Amino acid sequence: MHLVLFILFGGLCVAGAVNLLLQRHPINSALSLIVVMTSLAVLYLLLGAEFLAAAQVIVYSGAIMVLFVFVIMLLNAGEEERTTGSKAAYLVGFPGAAALLGVLAFVFLSQKSALGNARLGSFLVTTSDLSRVLFRDLLLPFEVTSILILVAILGSVVLARKEQ
């Protein structure tokens, strides 16, 4: 079951990354990046890293992507053209979503006994171990990253500001 879910969400992650590169509109690219980040969270969950999966969803798929969309909206001063949508999304998207739902339903319904018996190894990393490493041993890189994100946001606001 883990192999099927890994292949499924790994393929979804790669498809989202390819879609990110092929999109013409920046908002659609940001939405594709959200798909990639969420798929990575599921892959973390399959590896047994529940805290990292939750942090991936909360921090990257939530907060950072909201900032990306905000910066894209802030820098995009022109009027966007209205489109009816991609024909590929209608031809591939709906049957693909139905197939994905069908495969997930089949995997979860056929493997009832295996859901509670998954074991990854003897060493288990707890949240306290992870927080000790992150906030004691790696505190400087953690804070430098937050300052870099703040500088990037301020730089985008300065670039998008109109001269009076």
Domains of the chain are 1-78+86-110 (1.20.120.1200), 121-164 (no CATH)
- 161, pLDDT greater than 70: yes
Q: What is the pLDDT of residue 14?
A: 92
Q: What is the pLDDT of residue 39?
A: 92
- Name the average pLDDT for the chain: 78
Widest pairwise Cα distance in the chain = 67
On whether the pTM is more than 0.85, the answer is: no
Residue 68: what residue type? F
Structure tokens given for 2: 């883990």
Nearest Cα to 64, choosing from 90, 41, 94? 41
- What is the percentage of the chain residues whose pLDDT exceeds 90? 7
Range in 40-54, 80-94, 95-109 the model is least confident about:
80-94
